[in-house]
Amino acid sequence: MANILVFDSGMGGLTIYREIRRALPAHHYFYCFDNANFPYGELSEPALIAACSRLVTTMVSRHHIDLVVIACNTASTICLPALRAALDIPVVGVVPAIKPAAAQTRNGCIGLLATPGTVSRHYTHELIAQFAPGKRVLLKGTTELVIEAEHKLAGLPVNMALLQEVLADWLEGESVPDTLVLGCTHFPLLNEEIQQLMPQCQLIDSGRAVAKRVAWLLASGMNSAFVSVPSNEGMAKAYCTRLDETAQKLRAPLQAWGLSSLEEVRV
């Protein structure tokens, strides 16, 4: 079975891990979140590349990882070249699902909800130019909603007034997207709340596409040992970079997501 590392700054990567594990339950999962450097959307690009590279390469060598998933748009849109150069195993990234959104919009207006980091990236602007020519793509970068998603996962109520404030100019008026790209892996955690405010809008995230890509890599590009999958479930553990009081409280929610333990990883 393959050892799969799923990596994010916080709890958002769970939305990607959920889809991969659902599709490929027999493999072993290492869910690592860099809470010491959270939120990634506010970090400078050099700081983000350094933190992400150090942590991912450490986890890969310590746990004999076979495949890495950077379950974070903010990191993927800037760190993938450095990680692929440093590692000799497949590194799968998660980037905003602009292409399917462009195919599915009916009114030609797409909202991209992501972090401040992701909406400012050259990579993101290239994605839009390449895959959504002729569409109106409205960008919104928000760290507040990343924090709301963390709160929700920890069992706290979502601040609907704040959500409404952030989404205000997409709720009515001239710029109402009919398709919303959740370009941050934290945001599918807020699916219900966003859909409550934008009932007519279709929400698109990258979870299933990433799971398909991982399945394809394991089946075709790699050792045939990963192909014959037994029916048993593999193990799944969580790692963080700071096991403080807030992180300790995540043990129960992480267990509910199938992650049996939480340890601190020192880099």
**Residues near ligand DGL, by CB under 6 A:** 8-10, 12, 38-41, 72-74, 115, 118, 143, 146, 184-186
Cβ at position 153, least distance to ligand DGL in Å? 12
- Structural tokens at position 243: 């096991």
- In sequence order, what E strands does the chain have? 3-8, 28-33, 67-70, 91-93, 109-114, 136-141, 179-182, 202-204, 236-240, 262-264
Catalytic residue among 32, 52, 79, 184: 184
Nearer to ligand DGL, 45 or 233 (CB): 45
We find the least distance from the C-beta atom of residue 140 to ligand DGL, in angstroms, to be 13
Amino acid at 190: L
Nearer to ligand DGL by C-beta: 186 or 226?
Answer: 186
Least Cβ distance, residue 170 to ligand DGL (angstroms): 19
Please state, in angstroms and rounded to a whole number, the distance separating the CA atoms of residues 20 and 69: 10
Please state, in angstroms and rounded to a whole number, the distance separating the CA atoms of residues 30 and 22: 15
Q: How far is the CB of 79 from ligand DGL (least distance, A)?
A: 11
Residue 186 counted as an annotated binding residue = yes
234 is in an annotated binding site: no
The reply, when asked if residue 155 is annotated as ligand binding, is no
Catalytic residue among 32, 72, 79, 240: 72
Whichever of 38 and 226 has its CB closer to ligand DGL, that residue is 38
Annotation-wise, does 74 bind a ligand?
Answer: yes
DSSP label at residue 228: S
Residue 248's identity, in one-letter code, is Q
DSSP string computed for 197-250: H-TTPEEE-SHHHHHHHHHHIIIIIS-GGGTS--SS---EEEEES---HHHHTT
Residue 115 known to bind ligand: no
When the beta carbons of 144 and 192 are compared against ligand DGL, the nearer one is 144
Q: Residue 32's beta-bridge partner residues?
A: 7, 239
- Contact (Cβ atoms closer than 8 angstroms) between residue 242 and residue 35: yes
Whether omega before 199 lies within 30 degrees of 0, making that bond cis, reads no
Please list, in sequence order, all residues whose beta carbon lies within 8 angstroms of the beta carbon of residue 39, skipping any fewer than 6 positions away: 9, 10, 115, 143, 146, 147
Q: Which residue has the tokens 């704040």?
A: 162
User: 70 or 226: whose CB is closer to ligand DGL?
Assistant: 70
Known catalytic residue at 184:
yes
Residue 41 labeled ligand binder: yes
Q: What is the closest distance, in whole angstroms, from the C-beta atom of residue 187 to ligand DGL in the complex?
A: 8
Residue 79: active-site member: no
Binding residues: 8-9, 40-41, 73-74, 185-186
Give the residue numbers annotated as catalytic, written as ranges: 72, 184
Binding residues for substrate: 8-9, 40-41, 73-74, 185-186
